[in-house]
Amino acid sequence: MSMTVGGNINLGVIGLGRGLVLALPALAAHPEIRLVAAADPRDPARARFAAEFGARTYADWQDLLADPAIDAVYIAAPHQFHAAQAIAAAQAGKHVLVEKPMAISLDDCRAMARAAALAGTVLITGPSHSFDTPVRHAAARIAEGALGAPRLITALNYTDFLYRPRRPEELDPAQGGGVMLSQAAHQIDVVRLLAGSALRSVRAVTGDWDAARPSEGAYAALLDFANGCAATLTYSGYARFDSDELQGWTGEFGQPKDAAAHGNARRRIAALAPADEAAAKLSRAYGGADSSTPPPPIANEQFGLVLVSCERADLRIVPDGVWTYSDSARSFTALPPPPAAQYNAVAAFADACLGRGLPPQAGAWGIDTVKACLALARSGRERREITIEPEGQAA
């Protein structure tokens, strides 16, 4: 289908979970997006969405895609459904914003990109932290060239990812669980945008440190880019050190964070019977008892320390902006927060649907990020460097 040009975007949401709760303030704030429909198997979530937005709701996402009034969909169902839903959406002529990770296998990602290309529909993977304003500002500065080529990127994030209530598959690496696809996808998107080059290889060590909660919960990785830039990624989801401390106690969504909350995630999980964990996860989903959104942003979103060394200066990305360290001076560019967390990805999607241009995270972009995530996991398992084959030349 041809792109919608001008006018509003009639958006349908597929999956009314935690992801939607986080994206909802941005979707609701965008002047060109109308939330007209939603699909979710959970009755209470559908009833609440219908009441809140006067929207049509469907228990089965295929019925939503059959609705001719819908221009575009935001897919925020669990990872394992992304591919089938995005392919069917493209075939129905709908533009797609699909949550990260794009899908859990490369074949699925490729089929999604092919379906969108064939249909002429937009496909964007996000929101991811590569949409954060300071990341985009730094990437644009690097691409201008005055700072010289990027040489070394350090990205480091310590969170409580593993101790938030989870669905069983979210902790099972065989089903796309653990931090490799859910969290490395953010870090890899960020460093790919900053490096501005194809990834050549990955060497990683991965960690599964808690026998009571077996999963992939941590990694250290070295990424080698074709332009000679290297990136080191460090991630721990084990809820001890919290790298938001290095970001002025700004949370992932640009919200103020309470240092005294340290240890809460582990305490809450420890107090839950394992059989109650899935219900606790759902209580944070749309319509759930604990479904409040983070407080409005006072700064930009952030995903931990990010430092880029270029030939002529270092850049440090922080929630309030970007620091530049040159040979002789240290300067700061202040960057205001968006109107709502995740607004940049939503706005980029709206621009793409309305024919105003595509962001880097469109089309095949998500394939390369998932390829890097899977290479990272494989490198950890096999304890060796994994070469990344460019798309089109892979075996």
Provide Rg for the chain, Cα atoms.
20
**For residues 86 and 58, is the Cβ–Cβ distance under 8 A?**
no
Interaction mask 66-85, ligand NAD, x per CB under 6 A: ----------xxxx-x----
Stretch that binds ligand NAD, among 16-24, 89-97, 191-199, 362-370 (CB under 6 A): 16-24
Q: Which one of 40-48, 201-209, 289-297, 360-368 is the stretch in contact with ligand NAD (CB under 6 A)?
A: 40-48
**Interaction of residue 341 with ligand NAD, rule CB under 6 A:** no
In terms of CB distance, is 16 or 310 closer to ligand NAD? 16
Candidates 37-45, 152-160, 228-236, 318-326; binding stretch for ligand NAD (CB under 6 A): 37-45
Query: From residue 154 to residue 173, what is the string marking binding to ligand NAD with x (rule CB under 6 A)?
Result: -------------x------
Nearer to ligand NAD, 15 or 363 (CB): 15
Q: Which residue sits closest to ligand NAD, CB atoms considered? A: 17
Q: 10 with 34: CB under 8 angstroms?
A: yes
Q: Report if residue 12 touches ligand NAD, rule: CB under 6 A.
A: no
Considering the rule CB under 6 A, would residue 17 count as an interface residue with ligand NAD? yes
When asked if residue 263 is in the footprint of ligand NAD (CB under 6 A), the reply is: no
Q: Which is nearer to ligand NAD, 288 or 363 (CB)?
A: 288
Would you say 81 or 325 has its CB closer to ligand NAD?
Answer: 81
Least distance from C-beta 180 to ligand NAD, angstroms?
12
Binding positions for ligand NAD, 100-139, rule CB under 6 A? 100, 127
Nearer to ligand NAD, 48 or 281 (CB): 281
Quick check: 61 binds ligand NAD (CB under 6 A)? yes
The site string for ligand NAD over 175-194 (x = CB under 6 A, - otherwise) reads -------x------------
User: What HEC string does the chain produce?
Assistant: CCCCCCCCEEEEEECCCHHHHHHHHHHHHCCCEEEEEEECCCHHHHHHHHHHHCCEEECCHHHHHCCCCCCEEEECCCHHHHHHHHHHHHHCCCEEEECCCCCCCHHHHHHHHHHHHHHCCCEEECCCHHHCHHHHHHHHHHHHCCCCCEEEEEEEEECCHHHCCCCHHHHCHHHCCCHHHHCHHHHHHHHHHHHCCCEEEEEEEEECCCCCCCCCCEEEEEEEECCCCEEEEEEECCCCCCHHHHHCCECCCCCECCHHHCCHHHHHHHHCCHHHHHHHHHHCCCCCCCCCCCCCCCCCCCCCEEEEEECCCEEEEECCEEEEECCCCEEEEECCCCCCCCHHHHHHHHHHHCCCCCCCCECCHHHHHHHHHHHHHHHHHHCCCEECCCCCCCC
Which of residues 104 and 229 has its CB atom nearest to ligand NAD in the complex?
104
Q: How far is the CB of 244 from ligand NAD (least distance, A)?
A: 15
Residues 267-296 touching ligand NAD, rule: CB under 6 A, are 281, 285
- Binder to ligand NAD among 9, 11, 13, 16 (CB under 6 A)? 16
Pairing of strands 150-158, 305-310: antiparallel
| Residues contributing to the site for ligand NAD (CB under 6 A) | 14-19, 22, 39-42, 45, 61, 76-79, 81, 99-100, 127, 167, 182, 281, 285
